[in-house]
Every structure is written in C-alpha cells, then in structure tokens.
Structure 1
Amino acid sequence: MLLLQHHKAARRIISSSVRLVSTGSRESKYAAHQLKKDQQNSASNQEELKTRLRIQFSRARLGYFTQTPPHQENLFTNNAFLTSYLTRVLPNEVRAEIWDDLERFGKRAVTEIYPLGRECERNQPFVRTFNAWGNRVDDLVTCQAWKDLKKISAEEGLIATAYEGKFAEYDRLYQMIKLYLFAPVSGLYSCPLAMTDGAAKTAKTTGSPHMKKAYQHLTSRDPSKFWTSGQWMTEKRGGSDVSGSTETVAVEEANGSHQLFGYKWFSSATDSDMTLTLANIISEEEPEPKPRGLTMFYMETRKDDGSLNNIEIVKLKDKLGTRQLPTAELLLDGSVAYQVSEEGRGIASIANMLTITRLHNAISACAAMRRVLQLARDYSQRRSAFGKVVESHTLHQLTASRMEVITRGCEILTYEVARILGREEAGVASKEDSLVLRLMTPIMKLFTAKMAMSVVSEGLECFGGQGYIEDTGLPVHLRDAQVLPIWEGTTNIMSLDFLRAVVKTEGQALTALYKDVKGRVEEVKGGQNRALEDSCDKVTQAIEQLVNFLQRCPELVQPAARDVATSIAHIYIGSLLLEHAAWDKGSISEEVAKRWCAQPLFCVTPAEYTADNQSIVMDGYNADEVYGPMF
C-alpha cells in the first residue's frame, strides 16, 4: 500500500514536471523567435544606415576604394625618345626592316616575358648538395621560367643579332635596343646574356679551336644549341685588382688541356654552359705562380655525361638583389680547361669582353630607369590624391620631368656608345671614333649606374607606400639596380680606368672627345634654332674649363678622377642632346636639352682635392674601442 502511494506521488511529480517543461518550451520558443526578429530588424536598420552613409567596411566588403596597379605599356612604341633617336640615326632601309620586330618585341616583353621574370623572382635558385642516398650531386635548381627565358633569348637573337652582319654597322645598336626592351622584365636573365655576349666577342677574335666551337653555340638562334657563358674572375681576395688577387692555378696535361685548381668567390651565371676564367700556369719545374702572369682559359661546365666538370658548388650567394640569378662560390678541383690566350696575357685578352659587359651594364641601367618611369607615368593617371589624379599635381609633374631628363641623357649616351661600337666592329669607324669609344665606355658605365640608383629610388616614391611593398613587383627594381655601380668595376675603378685610357693614348682620346663635342656644338649653332645658342655656349664653356683644369693641375688629376669623369659625362651628353634637339625641332627635345645644359656641367672642386680628407673620415675612430668583426 505504501509502495502504491509512492508510485502515485511520483507520477504527480513527473506530470507536473512535464507541464512545467512544456510551458517552458513554448516560452523559450517565443523568446527565441522574438530575439531573431529583433536581430533581423537591427540588421536591416544597420544595412539601411550603412547604405545611407555609404559605409562599406563590413565582413568581406573592404570599401569602395581599392588601389589600381599601373598598367604596362609597349616598351618600344610608347618610348618617344627611343623611337625619335632611331628615326634620326638609322637609314630608311634598316629602319623599315627592324621597326616591326621592335614593336612586336616591345609588346612581347610585357605580355609574355614579364610574367616569366616575376616567376624567377618568386622561385629563386637553390642548390641540392646531396641526393637521398648521400651522394654529392651539387644540383643547381632553377625554375622553368628561367629555362624559358634562355629559349626566348635564342629565338629573339639577343646575342646572335650583333654577329650576323645583316645590318653591318647597325647590328650592335639593333641588338642593344632589343636587350634594352628585354632587361627590365627578364628576371635578370639579362646578366648571363651580358657575359655570353662578352664571351662571343672574345671567341670571335681568338684563334683557339675550342673558342670557335663555343662561338657557334653562343651566337646560335636554335634554343637546343644556344649556350650561355659565365665569367669567373673574382676570387676570395675580391676586388677589381684581378691580377693581384687570383690564386687559381693551371697544370698542363699530356693532351694539351689544363686542370684548374682554385676557389672562385663570385661566379655569376653558375648554370651557364661554359665560362671564361683566369689562372696562373704552374708545373713541376715552376711550381710557384708567376707574379701578374695570368692566362685566360675556356672551360665547359659539364662533362659529356652531364656531371659537373670537377666543380663543387660551395654555396649560393645571399645577395641584396639579383636573387633570380644563381651566383655561387665554386671550388675548381681539377676542372678540365683549355688555354685560349698567350701565357701571361689573360688580362689583356678580356679587354674586349669588358667593353661589351660595361655596355650591357649601361643598357640595364637605362632600361631600369625607363621601366620605372613608364609604370609611374601610367599609375599617376589612375591614382587620385587630394581631390585629383596625381598626374595633374604640378609638383609631381616637375619631379617626373626631372627624372625624364636624366633618363634621356643616360639613354642617348648609351645609344651613342653602342652606335660607335657597331661602327668599329663593322670596320668603318674612324680613329677618332675608336678613341672616343675607349674613353667613354667606363664613363658611360659609372654615370648611368649612379643615375639609375637615383631615378629608380625617386620612381618608387611615385607609388607611395606601394613602392615599398614587395608583392607589387616594384622594390625589386631598386634592389637589382644596386648591383649596377658595383659589377664590372665600381665608380672609382671606372674613373681610374678612364684616366688609364687618357694616359695610354697619350692624351689623344681626350683630344678626340674635345673635337667631337666642339664639332657637334658648332653644327647646332650653325643652324637656325636660336633657342639653343645659350645651351651651346654653356657646353663650350664647360669643355674649355675642363681642359684648362687638366692642363693647369696635372697633380690633382687622380683625386679629381671621379669628378672629371662626371663632368665629361655631363658635357658629352649635353652635346648629344643639343644635336638631337636641333634635328628634331620639337619643343620637348629642345626643353630637355636646355634643362640638361642649365645644370652645372663642370663638376670639379679643386679645394677638396688638397684638403685633409683622411682626417675628416677618420675623425672619432679609436682602435681601442673596436670590438671585433661584425659577423
């Protein structure tokens, strides 16, 4: 009975609980429904508010404004100065044959080659030293885009054009213009092409049968036969004093080849098919290297079975820029090579190579400046600030026009050196042409490289903060430009090389330049354009001041070398721009020439050369407060 009462009580409790739960569920559903309705109303009201106030920062909506990237222009047709210069200097029949090719290539550069160059920047080379089984393989891995650029280089004849003889004295200029279009978008493939061109030039003038074989590959348009070349000169002691720093030795074999043993410290284009390098020949009879007795050798980088030619890749260099390009420290441990210069004449044998590679350096400098200017020009019409597009701000217009003037000055200097080189290679250059070429090549290299650093840096400012963001593809131009004043000789080394040219020619090179400048200026003054007369007088005055300084102060020439070289660049460019403006008869060319000549053309400061410069530099240096190496 008691148990039954407990069961009834339990049922009443359960029944009551069910009613409570049931009642609670209805109230909960109502509350949830009301909450959802309130949220919907709130969201609706918020959306209406955002719509009325044009507020878009919500979830995936990032605002009405997004920055528009610069669009790419045809690198040839949209370069008014280049097309004008070529119209002036090329014969009609040559221009008719090459113009369509340059237009086509200018488009291909930005539509097809540029994406490959960007891919090389994103997928940089690396070395796989060992395979999975512990065997040393030194496998240098480059991306497919890098390989595709080699194929395109062959197809476009970027080396072959200069050696085919189709356009005689204009072959070299034609080639350099194509390289100028290629360089700024090529992911630094322009660098191995520079060394390949230098090797081809050397091979053409060398009687070695090995170099004749190399020449056929280096100048081929067939991608399956085309070779690139390295230029492995720098060793651990580094610097431009190659004669005093080379430790690599060569031991002759019975078959006439040599084995090379040494450590190459800075070897660009490590993936090249061949290289030219320097070494001291030794033997059991003469085991000690001869002082300043370097010999040039030709070496293929791989054996017939595809393995490296007794070369160990110690490491790839971790560089500021040019990261797309594999640059390595290499150990040569019995690498098979062939002598291609007279013993002890290695340095003299690379003179032709240096002319070519320095011209490539200047072409790359001009191309970098022009590329940044074209991108900034387009961007300035898409980006608005302070209520109007950037292009319409007068201060921006002035800044960009100054960069344009500098770029045109560097371009006309480089084009002219390429034109004179073409005349020399075709055998139609005068003695004066050759003297001017020897004098102006190092000056061209140092001046264009320095200007590239300035213009490219200023150009990045045109993009504001975006110019500092790596994935825009803009900062790479500045990082890569920094190599230009260093590679193939620093600014000071180029200044001293210019002086060497003056001394070796017993002043004839300087005399030839003086006559060249005076002749151009007098021809312009003899024309009908009175607006250029004042600028002509400034160029004449500057060249007279320069000659007067060199005659009066020969003891100051070495410390003044850099300023003298810069002065010559300013003066020579002034005469070239005046000549072009007189031909063009256009207001823009005239304004560019006048602006160039309005700046100081004579940049010599004698008081600085006799000052105690060492004390200024070393002021505050205390050896007792130096705590060891940086790394």
Structure 2
Amino acid sequence: MQRFRVKQNLLLVNSGTRILLRNVTAFTSQEAHTKTIDKHKKVESELYVAPFAKAQIGTFFQERPSLGNHYKEDQTLQSYLKRHIPPDIFTSKVEPDLHNFGQRVTSEIVDLGQQCDVELPYVEHFDPWGQRIDRLVTCPAWKKMHDISAEEGIISIAYNREIGEYSRLHQMAKVYLFASFSGLYSCPIAMTDGAAKIVENLATEYPWLKERAFGHLTSRQPGQFWTSGQWMTERKGGSDVANGTETVAIPQEDGSFRLHGYKWFSSATDADITFTLARVVGKDGQTTKGTRGLSLFYVEVHNADGSLNNIQIQKLKNKLGTKQVPTAELLLDGTIAHKVSDEGRGVASISNMLTLSRIHNAFASASAMRRVVNTARDYSTRRSAFGSVLKNYSLHVQTLARLEVEVRGATLLTLEAARLLGREDVGTATEHEQMLLRLLTPLAKLYTAKQAMSVVSEGLESFGGQGYIEDTGLPGLLRDAQVLPIWEGTTNVLSLDVQRALMKTKGRALQVWHDDIICRVESAGQHTELSQAAETVAKSASFIIDFAQRHSDVLDKAARDFAYSLSRTFIGALLVQHAVESGLDPTDIYAAQRWCEKDLTPVITNQSRRHFSSNSADLDFQLLFKNYHDQGRL
C-alpha cells in the first residue's frame, strides 16, 4: 500500500477560538489521506477562514476612478460652442470631431500620458567611442503624442481655416481636451502654434520661410509634422529679455548668421525648429543694448545628417514637475540661423507668439482643473467611507461643487479669448474686440493659473491618501500645475503687463472692458434668478473704472489685486450671460450665482484697508526685511 507525507498549515476560527495547526505531518495510506482531506474540507466549510491567512492580502480593493467621454461630460464646453458656432458647422464638423477626440483622450491618450510621466527623457552625451553626440532620448509614448497631435490636426485646424473664424475655437477646444492628459506634450504644441503664427505673419516679407517651414508646422501627416521650440530665456533669465539676452549673431557672407550664446531654459529640446533672440554684431564688433538690440532668428535644430546644428546640450533641467518635457541648458556655438525681423525688432516680432503661448497656458490650466474635478466626481461614486459612498455626503459634494464653479468660470474665460483670437486670425475682429483680446490674454493666463493650483490641490485632497500616491498618477497633476503661474510670465509680471495695455490705449481698453461687461449682463436683469448676480457684476465693473480714475497713482502697487478684480468681474459677466443664452439651465444659473457671491473686486476691498498707501508699502518692506541677515544690501 502506498504511503506518503502530508504537510499543511490551517488557521481555523470557531466561536472565537483560534486554532493554528503548523506543519501538520502524518504518514497515512492513500485511503486515509483522502478521508483526512474530506474531513478538512468539511471543517473549513463549517468554520470561518481568516482573510489574511497564508498569502491572502484581503478581499477588498479600492475601485479606481474612471472617466467617460471627456467632451460629452463637459456641459460648459458643449453649451458655449453651440452658442457661438453656426448650427450647421457645429453639427457637421466640430461636434463629431470633438466627440471622437473626447473618447480617444480617456481611452488611449491618458495611458500614453502616464507612460511619459514614468519614462522620462535623458541625454546620451557621448557615443561608445567618445564622440560627443548629445542625443536626446524620449520614450515611445512621447513620440506617439507627436503623431497624435498631427493626426488630430491640433495645429492645422487653426491655420487651414476650413470653418473660418471658428477654426481657432475648434482647435482650442481640442487643446482643452488634450492638455491635461497629454503627458505635457501640450507644451511643444503651444510653441509650435506660436511659431506657425510667426511664419504666417512673416510670409510676405520672408516667403522662403513660409515655403520652408509652414507646411511642416501645420501638417496632419506625422512624418511631415514639425514642432518648434522657443529659446528666449538666458542666465540673467526671466521675462526681462531686453537686459537678459547675451547671445550674439555674427553675419556670414551668404546672408545667414552664426549664433553664440547660452540658452538657460529651452523647453522641448527635441523640436525640429526654434525661434530665438540675439544681438547682431556690427562691423565695429559692438552690439546694441536693450530691446533695440534684439532681433529674431529662425533656427533649424538639426543638420541634414541628423546631428545638432552646432548646439551642445549641457544638461536637462531637474524640475519640480513637467519632467516629461525635455527642458535643457544649451550652448549655441556657431549655430546657423536666419534673421527674420528687422534689426532691433525682435521683441515686437514675437508678440503674437507670446499671445498664443499665454492662451495655451490658460487652456492648460482649465484642462487640469477639469480633469481633476471629473476624476474626483467619479471617485465619489466608488469610494465608501463610514458606511456610504462619498457622493452621499453633502459636505463632500459641496466641496466638489465649489471646484466645479471655478472650472466653469475658467473654461468660459479661455474659450472667449479663443473666440476673439479666431476673429483676429481672419481679420474680422473690431477694434473693440482687439483691445479686449489684448487685455484678456494676460488676465486669462494669470488668473486661471492661480485657480489651477488651488483647484488641483483641493481636488487631490478629495481622494484622501490615494491623492498622494504616485502610482495613481494624481500627484503629477499638482506638480505640473505649479509651472502654470510661472511659464510665459509670472502673476506679477503679467499684472504689470495689464497696466501697460491700459496705458498704451490711454484707458480705452478699460472702458471697452467695462462696456463689454455691461452689454453681457443687461439681458439677465429680467430673470429673477440672475438679476442679483447681474447687478453685482455691473456694480463691480463701475467700481473698478472709478478706482482706476481716482487712484491712478497706486496702480503699480495695486496691479495684482487690480488684475484679479478685472478677471473675476469679467468671468462673472460670462457666467451670467452663459446662463441666459444657454436656456436658463438651473446649474448654469447656480454657477453664476455662486461666482458672484465671492469678492469680485479685491482691489476695492484692499484699498479700503489702505493696503496701497505709502505707509503700508514701508511696513511691507519692514515686515519682510527687519531681521534680514545682509543689511548691507538694503
């Protein structure tokens, strides 16, 4: 008769008594063994088996959040586009494309974006034989984002203009859907859009440039599509390019130039082309200082053989976030370039690029907010705590609803800027609209960026501990959002830019802003639910006009609060108008009401508290520097 050894561990629980049988060993016959197994099965069927016994890790796993069609679930986006795009165009061209793209975003692009966040770019400085090559390596998902951008026409839609002035709005709606899922590929897309605009504007004066680059920048064929960099920042850094640009351009006999300089912050280093600023070296070997010395240059990053165009990648930046974007310090050592502006007109020539990159920044902010709120909303239907799912707790829903109001306001502000830009693209924008766009561009960028930081942070909190776990992909949203108030001008720099826009038009731009707001809210007065919100917005606009006229001497000190006041009041007008023109949907009315309950005019509030007085300025200084260790610098 066959005999064999049986070993097993059993943890049995019965009537509160725990019995652990470790390595139970017995020599038995096959028949006896079978009886033993049957007996154990009977015991196990009668007794509770502890869930964490042996290799078991428990029976509960938190359900991950899921997103539906990112376009279909966005009521504000759909309603705005329906209001402003003719029905036949919207139904036949825009909506089907956005519906399909909204599905692609959450079914394919989201995973590629996550891969970009994990497989970060790096540089191979030397080949195996010691030759310097500075080969930038990016992951397959990053390259796939390039192809998707071309296929979806995220640049070409705006420049083919198949639907005229609505083309820009269509394009920016896709940017809005794409940005927060794209693994930060929205960054090179923004710079490519700016480059395409520069090339288009210079087509008459530099026809060779359009022939060479425009078709590539606006192609829907992945193999033909080029992206562009924007290499402006140098070691002295920041927005002060007039005093910070040290790169020089040496004229060559063939009409080209050789650039020598150090670009300290060059985003999207894997771009095909770039635009950059430099100072032309005169026959006397001298350059002109300040803004008057800066000219704009077109550079192709690689030579025909694929090698870099006399460019050395010194290092990739080790950033807080946006690590997916290869941002480098570059040495330009004889880089071949072509001047594409009148000498000394470089800054003026990049104004359109700055406008576009700032609007893209605003859309990235709105996109980040929309993604985190939509994800948190879905999670609230899945996560249980204290006996119920989160959506059943009114406090949790109230918190997310407040975030939703912020997202809707940001979405309307950015879409309105895109609508005006589309009219400017095709030459139909009125002087009124052009001035309004000039004002809205810095306002939209600065205000939505600060909103994004707040909303994304609060949004992560709504996930509890999971919002802090890298594997979920959620913490990256907050890290990446931190760059939004910094890229393309900090909040203070753009607040002062708003002041310049007002001064350049001698106050007319502010009057246009006021009149535009009054026009938007007039129709709401007859609707009881919106009358209070409309009245609040109108009064706020008048208060701001009065402040600017009576306190022009403190506008520099008040610039930040003034910009916030302009932004909040304008968003209030947009929300009120949207509620009326979208059919008085109760949620649109509620969003407008909630927005207008906040302090729309912090500049008035803080003026009443004497925050802008000379005494307050002195106290601010003392508060900050009283115990500063290096008093010799004061």
- Give the TM-score taking structure 2 as reference length: 0.90
In structure 1, the gaps of 5 or more residues are 1-30, 627-631
> In 1, are the aligned partners of 2:89 and 2:163 still within 8 Å (CA)?
yes
Match of 2:623 in 1: 616
Match of 2:495 in 1: 495
TM-aligned CA deviation for residue 590 of structure 1: 0.4
Question: Structure 2: which amino acid aligns with 1:616?
Answer: L
> In 1, are the aligned partners of 2:243 and 2:289 still within 8 Å (CA)?
no
Match of 2:26 in 1: 33
1:365 partnered with 2:361: no
- What CA deviation, in whole Å up to 9, does each residue of 1:88-109 have, x standing for no partner? 2211011112211111110111
Aligned equivalent of 2:115, options 113, 119, 122: 119
Aligned equivalent of 2:66, options 58, 71, 85: 71
Match of 1:216 in 2: 215
Partners of 2:541 and 2:39 in 1: CA distance: 78
Question: Structure 2: which amino acid aligns with 1:408?
Answer: R
TM-aligned CA deviation for residue 177 of structure 1: 0.4
TM-aligned CA deviation for residue 60 of structure 1: 2.5
Partners of 1:204 and 1:413 in 2: CA distance: 26
Partners of 2:281 and 2:56 in 1: CA distance: 73
Residues 44 and 385 of structure 1, relative CA distance in 2, 3 Å threshold: farther
Match of 2:12 in 1: none
Question: Structure 1: which amino acid aligns with 2:371?
Answer: R
Partners of 1:465 and 1:165 in 2: CA distance: 46
Partners of 1:54 and 1:362 in 2: CA distance: 56
Partners of 1:451 and 1:471 in 2: CA distance: 25
The aligned runs of 1:569-580 (5 Å cut-off) are: 569-580=567-578
TM-aligned CA deviation for residue 556 of structure 1: 0.7
3-state secondary structure, aligned to 1:62: coil
Residues 54 and 76 of structure 1, relative CA distance in 2, 3 Å threshold: farther
Partners of 1:482 and 1:418 in 2: CA distance: 23
The aligned runs of 1:155-304 (5 Å cut-off) are: 155-206=151-202, 207-212=205-210, 213-292=212-291, 293-304=293-304
- What CA deviation, in whole Å up to 9, does each residue of 1:267-290 have, x standing for no partner? 001000000000000034233443
Partners of 2:228 and 2:26 in 1: CA distance: 77
> In 1, are the aligned partners of 2:511 and 2:545 still within 8 Å (CA)?
no
Aligned Cα root-mean-square deviation (Å): 2.2
Partners of 1:46 and 1:486 in 2: CA distance: 66
> In 2, are the aligned partners of 1:55 and 1:63 still within 8 Å (CA)?
no
Partners of 1:43 and 1:286 in 2: CA distance: 98
Match of 2:319 in 1: 319
Partners of 1:64 and 1:51 in 2: CA distance: 20
> In 1, are the aligned partners of 2:453 and 2:481 still within 8 Å (CA)?
yes
Match of 1:560 in 2: 558
Q: Which has the larger radius of gyration?
A: 1
Residues 388 and 52 of structure 1, relative CA distance in 2, 3 Å threshold: farther
Residues 53 and 136 of structure 1, relative CA distance in 2, 3 Å threshold: same
Question: Structure 2: which amino acid aligns with 1:549?
Answer: F
Partners of 1:509 and 1:52 in 2: CA distance: 80
Partners of 2:194 and 2:287 in 1: CA distance: 31
The aligned runs of 1:227-626 (5 Å cut-off) are: 227-292=226-291, 293-525=293-525, 527=526, 529-583=527-581, 584-604=583-603, 605-606=606-607, 607-610=610-613, 611=616, 612-623=619-630
Partners of 1:563 and 1:413 in 2: CA distance: 18
Residues 262 and 46 of structure 1, relative CA distance in 2, 3 Å threshold: farther
TM-aligned CA deviation for residue 557 of structure 1: 0.3
In structure 2, the gaps of 5 or more residues are 1-23
Between structures 1 and 2, the one with greater helix share: 1
3-state secondary structure, aligned to 1:302: coil
Partners of 2:586 and 2:67 in 1: CA distance: 27
Residues 624 and 341 of structure 1, relative CA distance in 2, 3 Å threshold: closer
TM-aligned CA deviation for residue 522 of structure 1: 1.4
- What CA deviation, in whole Å up to 9, does each residue of 1:337-390 have, x standing for no partner? 000001001011110001100010011000000001111111110100010001
Q: Report runs of 4+ in structure 1 exceeding 2 Å deviation.
A: 31-38, 40-55, 286-292, 622-626
Residue identity over aligned pairs, in percent, reads 49
> In 2, are the aligned partners of 1:274 and 1:299 still within 8 Å (CA)?
yes
Partners of 1:66 and 1:467 in 2: CA distance: 16
3-state secondary structure, aligned to 1:348: helix
Residues 254 and 374 of structure 1, relative CA distance in 2, 3 Å threshold: same
Partners of 1:418 and 1:569 in 2: CA distance: 16
Partners of 2:343 and 2:215 in 1: CA distance: 25
Match of 1:7 in 2: none
3-state secondary structure, aligned to 2:83: helix
Match of 1:149 in 2: 145
TM-aligned CA deviation for residue 43 of structure 1: 13
Match of 1:15 in 2: none
Partners of 2:366 and 2:489 in 1: CA distance: 18
> In 1, are the aligned partners of 2:523 and 2:580 still within 8 Å (CA)?
no
Partners of 2:81 and 2:43 in 1: CA distance: 61
3-state secondary structure, aligned to 1:261: strand
Question: Structure 1: which amino acid aligns with 2:545?
Answer: V
Question: Structure 1: which amino acid aligns with 2:135?
Answer: D
TM-aligned CA deviation for residue 211 of structure 1: 2.5
Partners of 1:210 and 1:458 in 2: CA distance: 50
TM-aligned CA deviation for residue 619 of structure 1: 2.7
> In 2, are the aligned partners of 1:439 and 1:501 still within 8 Å (CA)?
yes
1:131 partnered with 2:124: no
TM-aligned CA deviation for residue 220 of structure 1: 0.9
> In 2, are the aligned partners of 1:73 and 1:374 still within 8 Å (CA)?
no
Match of 1:6 in 2: none
- What CA deviation, in whole Å up to 9, does each residue of 1:167-210 have, x standing for no partner? 11100000000111111111111000000000001110012234
- Give the TM-score taking structure 1 as reference length: 0.91
Match of 2:15 in 1: none
TM-aligned CA deviation for residue 521 of structure 1: 1.4
Bigger Cα displacement from structure 2, 370-379 vs 112-121: 112-121
Residues 624 and 555 of structure 1, relative CA distance in 2, 3 Å threshold: closer
Match of 2:55 in 1: 60
Partners of 1:277 and 1:472 in 2: CA distance: 38
3-state secondary structure, aligned to 1:608: coil
3-state secondary structure, aligned to 1:238: coil
Question: Structure 1: which amino acid aligns with 2:612?
Answer: Y
TM-aligned CA deviation for residue 440 of structure 1: 1.0
> In 2, are the aligned partners of 1:310 and 1:332 still within 8 Å (CA)?
yes
The aligned runs of 1:103-118 (5 Å cut-off) are: 103-118=99-114
Partners of 1:510 and 1:147 in 2: CA distance: 44
TM-aligned CA deviation for residue 224 of structure 1: 1.3
TM-aligned CA deviation for residue 222 of structure 1: 1.3
Partners of 1:346 and 1:561 in 2: CA distance: 27
Bigger Cα displacement from structure 2, 617-626 vs 414-423: 617-626
TM-aligned CA deviation for residue 54 of structure 1: 6.5
3-state secondary structure, aligned to 2:344: coil
3-state secondary structure, aligned to 2:63: coil
- What CA deviation, in whole Å up to 9, does each residue of 1:607-629 have, x standing for no partner? 11120211111132222899xxx
